[in-house]
């Protein structure tokens, strides 16, 4: 039996890497033992939240060889997760990565335009998971003048201690970013075309992955997004997890109380009720702060729209019911 790191999840099959990582680590195909799958199903019986798959990229597992089937290893057990980042999509909750040291949210000022809703939802999820976050805003070469709306947002984030890095990744990696990514396991979140693959290639100094134009293939169709793990052949201390084709970042796997905790700028205010959701409660200090422009309106707007989608209020679309039940 040996320890391994889950590097890819493809339905019932997984890619695992022997752990500790060695340079040019070989990937093995592995499948969870039936017993593990049954235990998991029993644990999830009557589970209040949306279901998720048994294993995620970043999980640490014990694997053993299958004498009858030498191509496929067997996953015997899964270690408890130190942390995990999830998203909801089509009535399911998907664990994008487990056991990470930080999250990079990649956005761009142009092509694609800065998508505030996407960034807000990612930030909320990362805040709930308690992981360090770095927001990279890329493609500053495409604008002559910074957009005042976007800059206002970024300055607010900086004022509440969210690290923001304005970049032109195409022009090379800044020394501060290179230093930041010297080691650790990082999850890359961001819409297609923002520059995630560009960052990956620059950090690993070789074309590990094709850097493509914004993909038009399968546009408008739901395709499963499979997070994939990359490690540097020359530096096993750095691991990056990319989620290609991430279009939606739903938050309906979270409950209202979790969303409330995701806004550190709101938590500084003392409302009359300790568990105030800042909606229609009397004596709400957060709403007063929004009215006084102490909290920018956009923060409150996205907070309320997120509360509208949380699990208590989540209404699956036609067909989503089945997605939640299967497996």
Ligand X SMILES: Nc1nc2c(ncn2[C@@H]2O[C@H](COP(=O)(O)OP(=O)(O)O)[C@@H](O)[C@H]2O)c(=O)[nH]1
Binding-site size for Zn ion (CB under 5 A) equals 5
Any contact of residue 146 with ligand X (CB under 6 A)?
no
Beta bridge partners of 107: 137
| Cβ 14 vs Cβ 229: under 8 Å | no
Any contact of residue 202 with ligand X (CB under 6 A)?
no
Any contact of residue 212 with ligand X (CB under 6 A)?
yes
Residue identified by tokens 């996953």 is 75
What the block records as the tokens of 313 is 């209020």
3-state secondary structure string across 115-139: CHHHHHHHHHHHHHHCCEEEEEEEC
Site for Zn ion in 234-273 (CB under 5 A): 271
| Cβ 241 vs Cβ 229: under 8 Å | yes
Any contact of residue 191 with Mg ion (CB under 5 A)?
no
Binding-site size for ligand X (CB under 6 A) equals 19
Q: Which of 93, 99, 194, 197 binds Mg ion (CB under 5 A)?
A: 197
Any contact of residue 195 with ligand X (CB under 6 A)?
yes
What the block records as the tokens of 140 is 């500053």
Judged by beta carbon distances under 5 to 8 A according to partner kind, the member of Zn ion, ligand X, Mg ion, none in contact with residue 276 is: Zn ion
21 versus 286: smaller Cβ distance to Zn ion: 286
Any contact of residue 115 with ligand X (CB under 6 A)?
no
CA 109 vs CA 1, 121, 149, 158, 179: distances in Å: 48, 18, 11, 17, 24
254 versus 278: smaller Cβ distance to Zn ion: 278
Any contact of residue 278 with Zn ion (CB under 5 A)?
yes
User: Helix (H, G, I), strand (E, B), or coil: what is residue 76?
Assistant: strand
User: Helix (H, G, I), strand (E, B), or coil: what is residue 259?
Assistant: helix
Distance (Å, whole) CA 147 – CA 237: 37
Q: Which of 53, 165, 168, 174 binds ligand X (CB under 6 A)?
A: 168
Give the x/- contact pattern for ligand X in 70-109, rule: CB under 6 A.
Answer: ------------------------------------x---
Which residues of this chain interact with Zn ion, rule CB under 5 A? 271, 276, 278, 284, 286
Which residues of this chain interact with ligand X, rule CB under 6 A? 106, 138-139, 141-142, 168-170, 190, 192-198, 211-213
């Amino acid at each position: 039996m040996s320890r391994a790191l889950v590097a890819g999840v493809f339905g019932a099959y997984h890619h695992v890497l022997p752990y500790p990582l060695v340079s040019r680590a070989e990937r093995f195909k592995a499948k969870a033992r039936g017993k593990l799958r049954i235990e998991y199903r029993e644990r999830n019986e009557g589970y209040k939240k949306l279901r998720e798959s048994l294993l995620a990229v970043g999980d640490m597992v014990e694997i053993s060889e299958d004498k009858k089937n030498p191509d496929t290893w067997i996953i015997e057990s899964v270690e408890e997760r130190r942390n995990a980042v999830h998203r909801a999509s089509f009535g399911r909750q998907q664990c994008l990565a487990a056991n990470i040291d930080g999250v990079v949210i990649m956005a761009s000022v142009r092509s694609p335009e800065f998508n505030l809703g996407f960034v807000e939802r990612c930030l909320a999820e990362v805040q709930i998971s308690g992981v360090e976050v770095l927001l990279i805003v890329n493609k500053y070469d495409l604008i002559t003048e910074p957009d005042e709306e976007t800059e206002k947002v970024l300055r607010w984030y900086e004022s509440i201690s969210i690290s923001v890095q304005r970049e032109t990744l195409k022009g090379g990696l800044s020394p501060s970013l290179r230093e930041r990514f010297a080691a650790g396991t990082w999850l890359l979140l961001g819409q297609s075309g923002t520059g995630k693959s560009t960052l990956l290639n620059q950090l690993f100094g070789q074309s590990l992955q094709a850097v493509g134009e914004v993909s038009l293939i399968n546009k408008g169709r739901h395709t499963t997004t499979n997070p994939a793990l990359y490690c540097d052949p020359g530096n096993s201390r750095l691991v990056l997890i990319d989620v290609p084709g991430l279009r939606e970042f739903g938050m309906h796997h979270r409950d209202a109380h979790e969303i409330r905790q995701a806004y550190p700028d709101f938590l500084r205010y003392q409302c009359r009720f300790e568990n105030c959701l800042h909606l229609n409660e009397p004596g709400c200090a957060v709403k007063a702060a929004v009215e006084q422009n102490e909290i920018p309106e956009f923060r409150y707007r996205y907070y309320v729209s997120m509360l509208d989608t949380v699990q208590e209020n989540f209404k699956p679309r036609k067909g989503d019911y089945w997605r939640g039940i299967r497996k």
